[in-house]
Structure 1
Amino acid sequence: MISNQESLNLSPFMAIYDIVVPKENMLRKINELVDFTFILEELKTKYCLDNGRNAVPPIRMFKYLLLKSIFDLSDVDVVERSKYDMSFKYFLDMAPEDSVIDPSSLTKFRKLRLPDEGLLDMLIGKTVEIALEKEIIKSKSIIVDATHTRARYNQKSPKEFLQEKAKNVRKAVYQMDESMKEKFPSKPTSDEVEVELNYCRQVISVVEEEPQLAFLPAVKEKLNVLKEVVDDYTEQLSYSNDPDARVGHKTADSSFFGYKTHIAMSDERIITAAIVTTGEKSDGKYLQDLIDKSKETGMEIDTVIGDTAYSEKNNIRYTKENDIALVSKLHPVNQGTRTKEDEFEFNKDAGMYVCMAGHMAVKKGRHGRKDSGKNQRETYYFDVEKCKVCPLKEGCYKEGAKYKTYSTTIKSTEHKEQEAFQNTEEFKEKAKSRYKIEAKNSELKHKHGYDTASSAGLFSMEIQGATAIFVVNLKRILKLLSEKE
């Protein structure tokens, strides 16, 4: 049951906050900026309203998730810090003497209480609403890009993953006390995951019996990770098989296993829309959705700025129909016609096509002469050995074939208007703003843990994206408001 959210806190110690949490404290400013009761409205259907034991207020649970994102902390560490950090307790609307939650409650809250869909749009919409009310957003242009997030659960066997985490603990311990080598159990030789799990439990037990080591930050951090991994495996969660993560390609020679977040951002660096997908998805396919979602927040848009991934024919047509200037350079593959557009997607970073199975072409070649009077073709060659064993080969690869290729016809004349626009000073000037979104992506990754997924599955990735973007938008709004004062 949801407890009374508006009950007054009558603790005699509340005045402590006025002493230890100054007015310029970021968490105090966020509390003053945002009316978090909108969260309660969204979560009412997830709680029983008239019977049962009082639940921890959902607004407080949501704020715990925000603290995790703001300070890039684990469930265990954010709860631990909430015991003694008065700015945390103030932000959580707790009395100084109140006890904190059990860390496991956060996991349950994410899985059982948060909306099944729409959380990302709701939180972005709320921050854009605040920015528009404060007259922070004045531009009518958005910058678009996609950033990748690696899956927490790498493409390793369960045994390899457990071995890696146990090794990290042993290494951290040895740096403090090499004599501990004699106390650890012998490494298992069996390939059974259960045997490796038992070994990891023994490693945890040995370290915890040495409190002078277990409480050292360098050791404690690695130990907490190992404990979480063991707990997850015990609950039948396989780290080697994130069901939704996919292989994506950053360049022709580098790839990642995880997810993509497609982002639209105003010129004032407020994120106006985001879509979380699996890693193999093409950036350009989501331009129209990003524009539509940005408009739904109240944004007016007359210009969209992006890299070559967004200059597909459909995007050029869509922006023209909606009187939007598309500041995106043409790529030769976007200037012609091709078949099977839904089966082969172009990866602009690598300059290669990727098939439905996520395999990238290994080389390409151009055929035909420019002055021949016929259209040139660009042909992409795939690794036929992968095609032979691909589960999607039916209708794509012919048994016994020595090659698997995919070709595009280059017709630059079809994009004359866009080509003319990209040669103008207006285009070149507006294109200079694109760096802003790359800086925003860097902020998400390096300050808010968005470089690695915190859990498995697309839904968990959407929750992580929602809270991280909500936080960076609030921080940006606070900064712009302080500049206006």
Structure 2
Amino acid sequence: MIEQQTSLILSPYAELYDKLIPKDNFLRRINELVDFSFILEKLQDRYCRNNGRYAVHPIRMFKYLLLKQIYDVSDVDIVERSKTDLALKYFLDMAPEDDVINPSSLTKFRKLRIEPTKEEWDKGEGSLLDDLIQKTVEVAIEQGVIESKTIIVDATHTTSRYCAKSASEYLKEKAKLVRKTAYKFDASMKEKFPEKPTGSDINETREYCEKMLEVIEKEEAIKGVPAVKEKVNYLQEVLTDCQTEATQSSDPDARIGHKSQDHAFFGYKSHLAVTKERIITAASVTTGEKSDGKYLKELVNKSRAAGMDVDTVIGDTAYSGTDNLTFAQQEGNFQFITKLHPVITNGKRNEDDGFEFNKDADMFACPAGHLAVRKRIKRRKAGDNRNHQMSYYFDVEKCKKCPLQAGCYNGTKTKSYSVTVKAAVHAEHEKFQETELFKTLAKDRYIVEAKNGELKNQHGYDQASNSGLLGMELQSATTIFVVNLKRILKLIDQK
């Protein structure tokens, strides 16, 4: 159950807060600026209303998560610090003499209260990220610190805390766990298992694992041991996964993305919309391989839902696709400041075929995530009214081993993907981008780059603190909430 009273502190020592915590203390100002009751409204249905012991209030638990983000420390350290730091206890709505929580409670709170259910996740409901951003935008508008009607969009990457491994490496790792566990119960199994593979060929490793599982299946004394059975089940699951995934990791949702043709990362992307005042108005967290341009409409709609009046959107070439230009002119009804790219601005390709253009690498990536290794433009002869065509060529050695080759690669000597360039439908926008107005507005794009740097350099956003997409979204939610509040307070001071 949830306690009904949380704001009234009855303590003979409560006056210490007024005497020892300055009026300009950051945590004190946040408490005065933000009404956290929206957290209770969001989470109260996840608690039993009329049975059981009183739980630590959800607002207090949520504030613990914010403190973790503000001070960039572990669960144990933030709880330990809150024992003696009066500013933290004041922020947590505790009396000076109150006991703190057990650090393990934060793990349970994240897993049982904060994370949306699978049904909510599938429906796109229950997003703490959207709720927290909307709350900060609401506060910013109330305080009069957002005056512009412009948002700048971009995506920033966050690397996984785990390393990506090839499917072969991952299978070998799990097979090793099976062997070590089996040896604990029967040392003679060392002589019964097949010879370990020495190469990195996935088919060879898969065959070895299957033979090893067959050996265990024949050993009645071993296969029924719970510890062995657990490792065997895990290996069988990985074997199934490796039929369709080229890479594996302890972070199941992380994917390989590309910052340039020579720079790849393993992790996630955060698609952001930022005002000229450097307040984040919308965000969407995805796996690392997703294309930036597909999230423009979502970012604009989320910004408007948060209370922003959007009449101008600034983005780089990743957002200059046909769909986005059409959305800006018609449904979106905003001035779109994006420089056309001669490849991705055409409408002459099937955008559902799985091939995605990576503007950082200036190459297309196939459905399996492999970048093209070279490109060549095919120019039309004089008198041919058709558009020029750009062909991207892939490494066929990777295609031969790719689990997604069916319907994509048929054994030919080369594998290419072609698109037309500079379609006529963009003539109007091409003229607009040569105007002084366009060039002046485009100069503000640096703002979102600066915000990305702040998130990474000051708030640890360069690496995920948890595994999984849900964990990354929680990290994004608390980080952006804190960053926005800091910015709002700074803008208030500048008024």
- The 8 Å contact of residues 151 and 257 in structure 1, kept in 2 or not, is answered as yes
Counterpart in the other structure of 2:439: 428
Task: Name the aligned partner's letter for residue 106 of structure 1.
Answer: L
Q: Does the alignment pair 1:411 with 2:422?
A: yes
RMSD (Å), alpha carbons? 2.3
Correspondence list, 1:172-251, <5 A: 191-192=176-177, 240-251=249-260
Written as runs of structure 1 = structure 2, the 5 A alignment for 1:273-312 is 273-312=282-321
Is the Cα contact below 8 Å between 1:327 and 1:431 reproduced in 2? yes
The 3-state SS of whatever aligns with 2:14 is: coil
Measure how far apart 1:55 and its partner are: 0.6
Please say which of residues 338-347 and 295-304 is displaced more in the overlay. Answer: 338-347
Percent same amino acid among aligned pairs? 61
2:11 matched residue in structure 1: 11
Tell whether 2:385 aligns with 1:341.
no
Structure 1: gaps spanning 5 or more residues: 162-189, 197-232
In structure 2, C-alpha distance between the alignment counterparts of 1:92 and 1:195, rounded to whole Å: 47
Distance in 1 of aligned mates of 2:110 and 2:294:
29
Tell me how far apart the structure 1 counterparts of residues 7 and 441 of structure 2 sit (CA, whole Å): 51
Deviations 1:415-443 (A, max 9, x none): 11111111111011111111111111111
- Give secondary structure in 2 for the equivalent of 1:105: helix
1:146 has 2:155 as partner: yes
| Partners of 1:370 and 1:376 within 8 A in 2 | no
1:89-168 residue pairs with structure 2 within 5 A?
89-114=89-114, 116=116, 117-156=126-165
| Contact in 2 for aligned 1:337/1:411 (Cα 8 Å) | no
Instruction: Tell me how far apart the structure 2 counterparts of residues 476 and 367 of structure 1 sit (CA, whole Å).
Output: 49
Within the candidate set 392, 405, 415, 1:393 is matched to 405
* 1:375 alignment partner in structure 2: 387
**Alpha-carbon distance in 2 for matches of 1:345, 1:283:** 10
CA 1:392 to 1:351, structure 2 compared with 1: closer, same or farther past 3 Å?
Answer: same
* Per-residue deviation, 1:7: 5.5
Instruction: List per-residue Cα deviations over 1:237-267 (Å, max 9, x = no partner).
Output: x993211110010000001111001001111
What is the distance in 1 between the residues matched to 2:178 and 2:267? 24
1:31-50 Cα deviation digits (max 9, x unpaired) = 00001111001111110111
Deviations 1:380-438 (A, max 9, x none): 1111111112121111111x211111011113432111111111110111111111111
- Give 3-state SS (helix, strand or coil) of 2:94's partner: coil
| Match of residue 318, structure 1, among 309, 322, 327 | 327
Q: Which residue number corresponds to residue 83 of structure 1?
A: 83
Is the contact made by 1:83 and 1:100 (CA closer than 8 Å) also made in structure 2?
yes
- Once residues 365 and 386 of structure 1 are traced to their aligned partners in structure 2, the CA distance between those partners, rounded to angstroms, is 20
Question: Which sits farther off after the overlay, 412-421 or 312-321?
Answer: 412-421
Distance in structure 1 (CA, Å) of the matches to 2:310 and 2:281: 11
Give the distance between the partners of 1:115 and 1:38, measured in 2 at CA: 16
Deviation at 1:76? 1.8
Alpha carbons 2:349, 2:420 under 8 Å: kept: no
Deviation at 1:335, TM superposition (A): 3.4
Contact 2:13 / 2:95 at 8 angstroms: preserved in 1? Answer: yes
Q: Answer with 350-359 or 74-83: which moved more.
A: 74-83
- Identify the match of residue 253 of structure 1 among 238, 262, 266: 262
- One-letter amino acid matched to 2:349: T
State the alpha-carbon separation in 1 of the partners of residues 78 and 368 from structure 2.
Answer: 39
Does structure 1 retain, via aligned residues, the 8 Å contact 2:321–2:346? no
Deviation at 1:6, TM superposition (A): 3.3
Q: Quick check: 2:391–2:419 contact (8 Å CA) kept in 1?
A: yes
Q: Is the 8 A contact 1:69 1:448 kept in 2?
A: yes
CA contact (8 A) 1:144 1:287 kept: yes
Corresponding residue of 1:229: none
Aligned residues: 415
Give the conservation status (yes or no) of the 8 Å contact 1:305–1:327: yes
